[in-house]
């Protein structure tokens, strides 16, 4: 099957969000487990998170929602350009196997008063999956905003 540009575009998530924090602090929030554990994932908790922060290094996070269900996601770092860019793969883990692998590309730009985050995540199998991840990322970025506000 051939994927057209329109199909690819409709199955790719794009989010832009501004934070009142320096670029380095936002980058650290994504790359230091002790910081990421404080905000990673939609509202809930992160009982386990591991980063081997080097290109080719693996990462893994276990997220637990408010009902106590746990979800594991893992991937591999592709590009690390501190403090402006981070690219890694993303795949949900079920029965010990990582499923469909997508790519997360995070770019951080200094703006007046803080940092602009541009996140591109895809390509998903469907528009519905893209929308589900959009809800998850929006919730996570709300948690990141709260974390960065407290950490000032």
Q: What integer best gives the mean pLDDT of the chain?
A: 92
Domain ranges of the chain: 13-150
Is the confidence at residue 143, as pLDDT, over 90?
yes
Q: Is the pLDDT of residue 4 over 60?
A: no
Sorted by sequence, the CB contacts under 8 Å of residue 37 that are 6+ apart come out as 46, 49
Does the pLDDT of residue 25 top 90, yes or no? yes
Select from 115, 135, 101, 145 the least CA-distant residue to 13.
135
**In terms of C-beta density within 10 A (0-12 exposed, 13-18 middle, 19 or more buried), how is residue 94 classed?**
exposed
- The count of other CB atoms within 10 Å of the CB of residue 131 is 12
Provide, rounded to the nearest whole percent, the portion of the chain with pLDDT above 70. Answer: 95
Fold of 13-150: Alpha-D-Glucose-1,6-Bisphosphate; Chain A, domain 4 (3.30.530)
Give the bridge partners for 64, in sequence order. Answer: 45, 70
Residue-wise pLDDT for 55-93, tens only, equals: 999 999 999 888 888 999 999 999 999 999 999 999 999
pTM exceeds 0.85, yes or no: yes
């Amino acid at each position: 099957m051939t994927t057209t540009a329109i199909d690819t575009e409709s199955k790719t998530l794009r989010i832009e969000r501004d934070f009142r924090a320096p670029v380095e602090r936002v980058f650290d929030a994504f790359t230091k487990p002790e910081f990421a554990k404080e905000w990673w994932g939609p509202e809930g908790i992160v009982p386990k998170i591991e980063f081997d922060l080097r290109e080719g290094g693996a990462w893994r996070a276990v997220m637990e929602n408010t009902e106590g269900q746990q979800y594991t996601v893992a991937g591999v770092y592709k590009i690390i350009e501190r403090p402006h860019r981070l690219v890694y793969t993303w795949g949900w883990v079920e029965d010990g196997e990582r499923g469909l692998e997508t790519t997360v590309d995070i770019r951080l730009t200094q703006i007046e008063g803080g940092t602009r985050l541009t996140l591109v995540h895809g390509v998903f199998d469907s528009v519905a999956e893209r929308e589900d991840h959009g809800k998850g990322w929006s919730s996570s970025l709300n948690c990141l905003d709260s974390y960065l506000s407290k950490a000032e």
